[in-house]
């Protein structure tokens, strides 16, 4: 029997998307959804096939903007300008040019250089939380941590960090526009992009002041143009802020809901890296990676037409029973665990090393500082956001 067209806006999808994905995967792993105006992909193998193939384009600028009116698009042109060189939106040689530089500069050792800074930021935030009876994990910890860290990476001075946190949050909302073209949100994104663009132009106008070892300095030395550098540094913010926030929040939330796993972790922190991998699989912060077919293609026996949109859900792939034994079980020592939370193929996340480090350091420090960490109220309801791009909650009230 043909399934009814899938819409994330119905039937409690955001509270628990996984039974919806299981139904789709079992009968139509390549499923046409009117709500997405595209093909929703839910099986591991097919999500991977789309991520690898050169026949699917990442050029999603049109997808993001064609739902806005032409007057709105005109008004948003500074944003389009900034997004023109976002690696995540580029194909072929244009992507390779930026990606090669990112691979050379944003290395594991570059990220390792941030370890001490991450620890300092965590300690500072935790010290403030310890003064409170209860706290919001999102607002008091998981939102500021990656923002302050990226501020350090970009060379934002201390006195501008508060400004930067706000701007970073507003820019991150850009991916919501594809599913919810809210003019207010679009306006906030635009203002934030213009502010960050001006700020980065200021930094780049004095190349002699750029500090050796910072990302901006490495990108300048790599020979990229000013527009490419501004684009790339802005993408770091968009791609690296709220995703990491959600890794930490989803991680703590899931551990609190699995007390045995939480205890095992507290008793043996050598499991922290593997626990972070399991959080990435079990509650993947990024839900899907959109693509556009550049030619006709048969995917899983279904004919995709040139120009059609595909929405491969990595969080559905990460619960595929063909790849993960008992996929709905949360097991901090799961092995193997080849999840797709960071994507796959050419666009595999360049920030994965840093994100894993941030996740591991912060979850460990939180559990060490608050061994009795619990929900602020028993039976507390969690409100997952109605956001198809990210698996995220706006707040998580806890007691230490
Ligand atoms: C838990 C945190 C994170 C998750 C779940 C995540 C997830 C992803 C995913 C799924 C992609 C692939 C998108 C696609 O194929 O279209 C991606 C790409 C990317 N991510 Fe992340 N990310 C995270 C953290 C970060 C951080 C911390 C940074 C940098 C500061 C970063 C920078 C990037 C960049 C630059 C790309 C584009 C790579 C390319 O297109 O070649 N990410 N990320």
The model's pLDDT over 18-34, given as tens digits with 9 standing for 90+, comes to 999 999 999 999 999 99
Section 54-71 average pLDDT: 82
The mean pLDDT of the chain is 93
Residues counted in the chain:
400
Give the phi and the psi of residue 38 in degrees, each rounded to 5.
-170, 180
Query: Ligand 1 centre and the CA of 319: distance in Å?
Result: 20
Q: What is the largest CA-CA distance in the chain?
A: 66
CB of 105 within 8 A of CB of 229?
no
With cut-offs at 50, 70 and 90, classify the pLDDT of residue 184. Answer: confident
Query: For ligand 1, what atom is nearest to the CA of residue 58?
Result: 16
The pLDDT assigned to 180 comes to 67
Query: Ligand 1 centre and the CA of 80: distance in Å?
Result: 19
Query: For ligand 1, what atom is nearest to the CA of residue 241?
Result: 27
Question: Could you tell me if the CB of 29 is within 6 A of ligand 1?
Answer: no
Question: Could you tell me if the CB of 347 is within 6 A of ligand 1?
Answer: yes
With cut-offs at 50, 70 and 90, classify the pLDDT of residue 188. Answer: confident
For the question of whether the overall pTM of this predicted structure is more than 0.85, the answer is: yes
Q: Tens digit of pLDDT for each residue in 355-383?
A: 999 999 999 999 999 999 999 998 888 89
Question: Could you tell me if the CB of 350 is within 6 A of ligand 1?
Answer: yes
Question: Could you tell me if the CB of 349 is within 6 A of ligand 1?
Answer: yes
Query: Ligand 1 centre and the CA of 157: distance in Å?
Result: 25
The pLDDT assigned to 101 comes to 94
Give the three-state DSSP class for 298. strand
Residue 165 has pLDDT above 90, yes or no: no
Residue 182 has pLDDT above 80, yes or no: no
Section 139-154 average pLDDT: 93
CB of 310 within 8 A of CB of 292?
yes
Q: Tens digit of pLDDT for each residue in 211-235?
A: 887 888 889 999 899 999 999 999 9
Q: How far apart are the first and last CA of the chain?
A: 50
Q: Which is it for strands 309-312 and 38-41: parallel, antiparallel or unpaired?
A: parallel
The fold of 71-282+347-399 is: Cytochrome p450 (1.10.630)
Question: Could you tell me if the CB of 342 is within 6 A of ligand 1?
Answer: yes
Question: Could you tell me if the CB of 244 is within 6 A of ligand 1?
Answer: yes
Closest protein CA for atom 12 of ligand 1: 343
With cut-offs at 50, 70 and 90, classify the pLDDT of residue 160. Answer: confident
SS (H, E, C) 191-215: HHHHHHHHHHHHHHCCHHHCCCCCH
Return the domain boundaries, the chain.
71-282+347-399
């Amino acid at each position: 029997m043909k399934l009814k067209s899938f819409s994330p806006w119905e039937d409690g999808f955001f509270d628990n998307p996984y039974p919806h994905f299981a139904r789709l995967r079992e009968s139509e792993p390549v499923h046409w959804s009117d709500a997405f105006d595209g093909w929703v992909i839910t099986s591991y193998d097919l999500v991977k096939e789309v991520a690898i193939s050169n026949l699917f384009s990442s050029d999603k600028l049109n997808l993001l903007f064609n739902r806005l009116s032409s007057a709105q698009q005109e008004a948003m042109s500074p944003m389009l300008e900034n997004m023109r060189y976002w690696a995540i939106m580029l194909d072929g040689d244009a992507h390779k040019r930026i990606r090669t530089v990112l691979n050379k500069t944003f290395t594991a050792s570059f990220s390792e250089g941030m370890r001490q800074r991450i620890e300092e930021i965590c300690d500072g935030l935790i010290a403030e939380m310890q003064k409170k009876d209860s706290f919001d994990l999102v607002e008091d910890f998981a939102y500021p941590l990656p923002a302050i860290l990226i501020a350090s990476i970009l060379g934002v001075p201390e006195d501008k960090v508060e400004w930067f946190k706000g701007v970073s949050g507003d820019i991150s909302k850009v991916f919501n526009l594809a599913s919810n073209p809210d003019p207010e949100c679009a306006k906030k994104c635009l203002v934030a992009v213009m502010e960050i663009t001006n700020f980065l132009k200021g930094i780049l106008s004095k190349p002699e002041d750029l500090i050796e070892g910072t990302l901006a300095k490495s990108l300048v030395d790599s020979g990229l143009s000013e527009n490419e550098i501004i684009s790339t540094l802005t993408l770091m913010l968009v791609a690296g802020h709220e995703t990491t926030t959600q890794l930490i929040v989803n991680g703590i939330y899931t551990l609190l809901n699995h007390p045995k796993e939480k205890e095992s972790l507290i008793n043996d922190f050598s499991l922290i890296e593997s626990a972070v991998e399991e959080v990435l699989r079990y509650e993947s912060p990024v839900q899907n990676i959109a693509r556009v077919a550049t030619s006709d293609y048969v995917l899983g026996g279904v004919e995709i037409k040139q120009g059609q949109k595909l929405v491969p859900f990595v969080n559905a792939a990460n619960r595929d029973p063909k790849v993960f034994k008992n996929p709905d079980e949360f097991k901090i020592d799961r092995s193997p665990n080849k999840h797709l939370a960071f994507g796959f193929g050419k666009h595999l996340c360049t920030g994965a090393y840093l994100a894993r480090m941030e996740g591991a350091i912060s979850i460990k420090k939180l559990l060490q500082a608050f061994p009795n960490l619990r929900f602020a109220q028993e039976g507390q309801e969690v409100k997952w956001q109605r956001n198809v791009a990210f698996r995220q909650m706006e707040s998580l009230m806890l007691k230490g």
